[in-house]
Amino acid sequence: MSPVLAGVLQLLALIAALALAYRPLGDHMARVYSSEKHYKPEKWIYKAIGANPSAEMRWPAYLRGVLAFSAVSVLFLYALQRAQGILPGSLGFSAIDPDQAFNTAASFVANTNWQSYYGEQAMGHVVQTGGLAVQNFVSAAVGMAVAVALVRGFARSRTGELGNFWADLVRGTVRILLPIAVIGAIILVACGAIQNFAGIHEVGQFMGGAQQWNGGAVASQEVIKELGTNGGGYFNANSAHPFENPTPFSNLFEIFLILVIPFALTRTFGRMVGSLRQGYAILATMATIWLGFTALMMWTEFTHHGPAFDVAGGAMEGKETRFGVGASAIFSVATTLTSTGAVNSFHSSYTGLGGGIQLLGMQLGEIAPGGVGSGLYGMLVMAIIAVFIAGLMVGRTPEYLGKKIGTREIKFAACYILITPALVLCFTAAAMALPTPPHSMLNSGAHGFSEVLYAYTSGANNNGSAFAGLNADTQWYNSTIGIAMLLGRFLPMVFVLALAGSLAEQKPVPETAGTLRTDKPLYTGLLVGTILIVTGLTYFPALALGPLAEGLAS
């Protein structure tokens, strides 16, 4: 069997697995966020928090909950890293420097998992397991909570109430993420991922002597890193490391974990707004872009244009033998079209066009299917922009799911889509213009520019993958990427929740013959077009200087 055919079959197997999980998981999540019932252990948790989980919140209250929880999380994670030198169970590792500790705390709370540190030499068991892995759960649960609040905004009328943040946070964690993580972690261990709390120990070698290895709760962290679309590896090599991703099966399973919640949330959305077809239209949009990108990526990696690959006879630099080109390409698209950023192969060594596909995937705003929660709310904002554009064309007040898209709504949506590009382009321009930041580039020319553009794109879009040639462990990059990650995560949430509040207050408008049908293929086509045009217009000049220049030159 040729590697290309094997790659296509792996993609088909992945699609089949996602299709099987779509209905049960999507319906389960809809029940979780709609149920009135609180389980006994959850009641204990609410008691400990001191919150009434049945109290409805309007959007400002919901937002305050999100921000308070996240602010405390940043401070806690920062303090934990700064105290590592005196924490027991930390392998004797020293404390993390202030700028790197800030960067890492911001990164994990913002569901980005950009890493300017080397996991195996810097982070002990307590910080990895009790700090970083915890944020992998809760930052994902926060993303889902905000998405569900927006869905409630569409589903509810003549109220401003969006649900209870604490209940959504706790339920997302214990009823959705935790059960899948337990099963997934055991599956990964069965494949060969390690799961222990060993200290640094010596392992004998074939040629004599010994290597030093650190153990760790790797499988339990790996599974939530993918499931919560976080992406921060236990080891520097991330999911290319054989202890994180040991076999071709574990690789496909990890890609499945990355994509399963973001895709299934469209079913949850359809259920909650009372029209499964609306959910399918969003799903079709996401799937079209994802499949298109995956096909393009496989094509460019298998044809491998580039001087070094011409000599080598294949684009295997930075790729593992057990995965090969096909499974690496599928992983890399899944990770950049969601907000994951885990890598099983190193993006900097992809072909010029391959790097461009990864960049564009993130620049779409990670909505196909996007991060857990953030993908759905990002896509729904684009859906509003699309009906607005359609409304302009025919001269009607646009409406979506029975809600009028008026001045207020479109302002919030416009602010949402402007924030991330503004952060990416301003910080990239500043880094290129200032004297010292460009010194961090490993490669020169167009690829060097791509490294910097990639870093801020990855940070502001909360992806976390890297064109790792860039030495990002400097005060400049630690600080600016840290700020980009926080603003890129929480400012959009402000506008999403404001939008949700505004929608929930409206009374529904009845559907008429002139209403644009948003559950038809025509609308899906319009939405795909809108996404590509809005992103293309925003980033084309920057992409032309980086990956396009590199791809066309070789």
Partner 1 sequence: MNNSVGNTARLIGAGLRALLVLTLICGVIYPLAVTGIAQALFNDKANGSEIKDESGNVVGSSLIGQTYDLPKKDPNDAEEAARPDLKWFQPRPSNGLGANSVNTQYSLILSGATNKAADNPDLVQLVTEAKDAVIADNSTATYEVKAQDVPADAVTSSGSGLDPNISPQYAELQIHRVAERNELDVKQVAELVADHTTGRTLGFMGEPRVNVLELNAALKALTKS
Exactly one of 247, 275, 288, 479 binds partner 1 (CB under 8 A); that residue is 247
CA distances from 553 to 303, 447, 536, 546, 547 (A): 15, 11, 21, 11, 10
Q: Which of 181, 220, 213 is nearest to 372 (CA)?
A: 181
> Segment near partner 1 (CB under 8 A), from 124-132, 402-410, 421-429, 477-485?
124-132
- What x/- string results for residues 288 through 327 when contact with partner 1 is judged by CB under 8 A? ----------------xxxxxx-xxxxxxxxxxxxxx-xx
| Structural contact between residues 486 and 419, judged by C-beta atoms closer than 8 angstroms | no
Residue 334 CB, shortest distance to partner 1, in Å, is 15
Residue 144 CB, shortest distance to partner 1, in Å, is 14
Q: Give the 3-state secondary structure of residue 334.
A: helix
Q: How many CB atoms lie within 10 A of CB 443?
A: 16
Residue 425 CB, shortest distance to partner 1, in Å, is 22
Distance between CA atoms of 397 and 405, rounded to whole angstroms? 7
Which burial class, exposed, middle or buried, applies to 532 when counting CB atoms under 10 A from its CB (0-12, 13-18, 19+)?
middle
Which of positions 510-549 make contact with partner 1 (CB under 8 A)? none
State yes or no: residue 438 binds partner 1 (CB under 8 A).
no
Q: Which is nearer to partner 1, 330 or 387 (CB)?
A: 330
Which of positions 400-419 make contact with partner 1 (CB under 8 A)? none
Taken in order 59, 61, 64, 69, the sign of the CA dihedral is negative
Number of residues counted as binding partner 1 (CB under 8 A): 126
Which residue type occupies 74?
V
Residue 314 CB, shortest distance to partner 1, in Å, is 3
Q: Which is nearer to partner 1, 154 or 235 (CB)?
A: 235
State yes or no: residue 55 binds partner 1 (CB under 8 A).
no
- What x/- string results for residues 354 through 393 when contact with partner 1 is judged by CB under 8 A? -x--------------------------------------
Residue 283 CB, shortest distance to partner 1, in Å, is 25
State yes or no: residue 21 binds partner 1 (CB under 8 A).
no
Q: Which is nearer to partner 1, 122 or 487 (CB)?
A: 122
Distance between CA atoms of 35 and 257, rounded to whole angstroms? 25
Which of positions 478-497 make contact with partner 1 (CB under 8 A)? none
Q: Which is nearer to partner 1, 327 or 386 (CB)?
A: 327
State yes or no: residue 343 binds partner 1 (CB under 8 A).
yes
> Segment near partner 1 (CB under 8 A), from 129-137, 259-267, 333-341, 501-509?
129-137
State yes or no: residue 554 binds partner 1 (CB under 8 A).
yes
Exactly one of 37, 48, 512, 513 binds partner 1 (CB under 8 A); that residue is 48
Tokens standing for residue 182: 């337990």
Neighbouring residues of 226: CB distance < 8 A, sequence distance ≥ 6: 239, 254, 255, 257, 258, 340, 342
Distance between CA atoms of 207 and 335, rounded to whole angstroms? 38
State yes or no: residue 263 binds partner 1 (CB under 8 A).
no
CA distances from 56 to 242, 373, 507 (A): 46, 20, 19
- What x/- string results for residues 23 through 42 when contact with partner 1 is judged by CB under 8 A? --------------------
Q: Which of 376, 415, 403, 399 is nearest to 494 (CA)?
A: 415
Tokens standing for residue 552: 């066309």
Exactly one of 133, 284, 297, 360 binds partner 1 (CB under 8 A); that residue is 133
Residue 539 CB, shortest distance to partner 1, in Å, is 20
Q: Which of 517, 461, 401 is nearest to 151 (CA)?
A: 401
> Could you write out the DSSP letters of every residue in 15-42?
HHHHHHHHHHHHHHHHHHHH-----HHH
Q: Which is nearer to partner 1, 132 or 542 (CB)?
A: 132
Secondary element (H or E) of residue 212: strand 210-214
> Segment near partner 1 (CB under 8 A), from 31-39, 341-349, 364-372, 405-413?
341-349
Identify the residue whose tokens are 């599974």. Answer: 223
Q: Which is nearer to partner 1, 286 or 330 (CB)?
A: 330
> Segment near partner 1 (CB under 8 A), from 31-39, 125-133, 268-276, 334-342?
125-133
Distance between CA atoms of 169 and 138, rounded to whole angstroms? 7
Exactly one of 107, 116, 344, 457 binds partner 1 (CB under 8 A); that residue is 344
Tokens standing for residue 313: 């006879």
- What x/- string results for residues 83 through 122 when contact with partner 1 is judged by CB under 8 A? --------xxxx-----------------------x-xxx
- What x/- string results for residues 138 through 177 when contact with partner 1 is judged by CB under 8 A? x---------------------------x--xx--xx---
- What x/- string results for residues 198 through 227 when contact with partner 1 is judged by CB under 8 A? x-x--xxxxx---xxxxx-x-xxx--x---
State yes or no: residue 468 binds partner 1 (CB under 8 A).
yes
Neighbouring residues of 114: CB distance < 8 A, sequence distance ≥ 6: 103, 107, 341, 455, 458, 459, 463, 464, 466, 472, 481, 485
The upper half-sphere exposure of residue 479, i.e. CA atoms within 13 Å in the direction of its Cβ, equals: 7
Identify the residue whose tokens are 């994509």. Answer: 259
